[in-house]
Amino acid sequence: MFRAGLTCTSVAVACLLWATVTAAYEHSFQRWSGKKFWNQPDYTRLELASFEAASFKPVGNLNALTDTFTLLGHPAFPKYSVRIKQSDFCDGTVAAYTGYIDVEARHLFFYFFESRSDPDRDDVIFWTNGGPGGSSSMGLFMELGPCRVVNSTSVVYNKASWNANANIFFIDQPVDVGFSYAEHGEYVSTTEEAAKDIAAFVSIFFEHFSSFKGRALHMAGESYGGRYIPLFSSAIYDQNIELVKAGLTPINLTSAIIGTNGVTNRFTQITSYYDMQCTPASVEPITDISTCTRMKQAIPRCQKLMETSCIAGFDPIGCDEAIEVCRMEIQDPYWKSGMNVYDISKKCEGSLEETHCYPITKLIQQYLSQPHIRQKLGVDPSIPLDKPLSSHNVGLAFAGTLDGLHPSDLYVAALLERGVDVLIYAGTYDWICNWVGNERWTLALDWSGKEEFVSQSLREWKVNGEVAGMTRSAKGFTFATIDGAGHMVPYDKPWESLEMVNRWLKNRQL
């Protein structure tokens, strides 16, 4: 049953690609046959263990850490611990820490950089790349981190890093991504499962480092982060109930920041490929009239099929067919064009499998393969030196559970209803998770601020007097575009994206 787009399955950095999903159906038929698998799992709430307050000794201050691992645990989370060390690298002007969140046999790697401004008071950003299966080292070393890789052995200071005014985490998740690993063949195949570990990690960290208690936390990510971040944020929000019951300090979850996201609502996204290629929504139409006409004709059929088979009820055979029709008619013409799926204004440099169209991704992999860098970071020696940045296995495992077809917009609405602000941003040149589809689902989102949000027209937002993009905002919900940026917005437009984040942190306004 499977077909031309198979190469896409290794492109873990993309939004979940249709090809991956389609490939997984056969697999999931076998795995799930006879089960009502559209019934989406809830993220598993952690049961906090009861404990004596006196039995917990927080580390207190990050400065107390050394360049060898300190082990952090918490009696409320008996199955979890955190290994953390000082790792002087990348930024050079602020303290940096790396380590692992250990969840029995599962081990998640993270980087933490202090703010360049006021680390004792500034907010905290948690960043994850997408995929599923993409390593956050891509976000760190080519997008928004304190340094950028310039060749296989060197990095340079990034003046536009998002730690300008915030403390920031980068995490390789779920297990098998980047430097994260698992024993006994354990793996994670749903966002719900991944969310549980993230929520526990955040609590352990904030409990141990008391200077962070109550500090504003912003959950951020791009691409498949459009699925991760709404669920991770919701898991943290819901866990607060348990934390309060246990006498612990709740996490001050303040906002969710989601970049170039195409999966929060996949079904509104799919039709937007027509707008990108066949209208001047981003660049002048790049696809021929004959193909555009076919695409346009396929849209109502595609929407109807998805509505019937994927949304109103879930019929795996029907939904498979719907997605196949949509993929062939609406996505294939661009895939076959050799253009960069992350940037409609460019050809793909290298191949998707080799470079994700960006040769710098190879340099990141090479840079992180250096034994002295691995040692400095405390990377587990079991991680092979040639391990790719993206985990193919994770991409397949998530596809196998149809994780990307579960709606995430309901979580976004629920967060907004609870006063957690949400920023959705998109580069205008991104094709795969394009701004048109993002705008569409933000307008369609059902929440109590909908009317006010929808009634706003898009207005320009500016950086140094120049138009940086368009934005619309109401009641804590903001949509923004960044002109001339592809999928990896901070890579293409570092200053505009830093300004966007700084303004968002400061007063949730662009």
Interface residues with ligand NAG (CB under 6 A) are: 150-151, 153-154, 214, 216, 252, 254
Output the smallest distance, CB 250 to ligand NAG, in A.
Answer: 7
Distance, CA of 102 to CA of 422 (rounded, Å): 29
DSSP string, 144-182: ISSEEEEETTEEEE-TT-GGGSEEEEEEE-STTSTT-EE
Alpha helices, H only, 144-288: 191-208, 225-245, 266-269, 272-278
In this complex, which beta carbon is closest to ligand NAG, that of residue 182 or of residue 216?
Answer: 216
Active site residue 27: no
Distance, CA of 222 to CA of 438 (rounded, Å): 12
Active site residue 42: no
DSSP string, 394-446: HHHHHHHTTGGGS--HHHHHHHHHTT-EEEEEEETT-STT-HHHHHHHHHH--
Angle formed by the axes of helices 409-417 and 225-245, nearest 10°: 40
The one catalytic residue among 223, 255, 272, 473:
223
Output the smallest distance, CB 151 to ligand NAG, in A.
Answer: 4
The one catalytic residue among 430, 473, 492, 497:
430
Output the smallest distance, CB 412 to ligand NAG, in A.
Answer: 20
In this complex, which beta carbon is closest to ligand NAG, that of residue 214 or of residue 371?
Answer: 214
DSSP state of 10: G
Nearest Cα neighbor of 186 from 26, 28, 393, 389 is 393
Burial 270-301 (b: 16+ CB within 10 A, else e): bbbbbbbbbeebbeeebbeeebbebbbebbee
- Given a contact cutoff of 8 angstroms between Cβ atoms, the answer to whether 249 and 213 are in contact is yes
In this complex, which beta carbon is closest to ligand NAG, that of residue 159 or of residue 336?
Answer: 159
Output the smallest distance, CB 249 to ligand NAG, in A.
Answer: 9
In this complex, which beta carbon is closest to ligand NAG, that of residue 199 or of residue 505?
Answer: 505
Furthest C-alpha separation in the chain: 73
Nearest Cα neighbor of 115 from 137, 91, 149 is 91
Distance, CA of 426 to CA of 469 (rounded, Å): 9
Which residue has the closest beta carbon to ligand NAG?
214
In this complex, which beta carbon is closest to ligand NAG, that of residue 97 or of residue 206?
Answer: 206
- Bridge pairing between strands 459-463 and 216-222: unpaired
Output the smallest distance, CB 241 to ligand NAG, in A.
Answer: 15
Burial 34-52 (b: 16+ CB within 10 A, else e): eeebbebeebeebebeebe
Output the smallest distance, CB 213 to ligand NAG, in A.
Answer: 8
Distance, CA of 376 to CA of 435 (rounded, Å): 39
Active site residue 457: no
Output the smallest distance, CB 474 to ligand NAG, in A.
Answer: 20
- Given a contact cutoff of 8 angstroms between Cβ atoms, the answer to whether 61 and 114 are in contact is no
The one catalytic residue among 218, 487, 492, 497:
487
Output the smallest distance, CB 234 to ligand NAG, in A.
Answer: 18
State the catalytic residues: 223, 430, 487
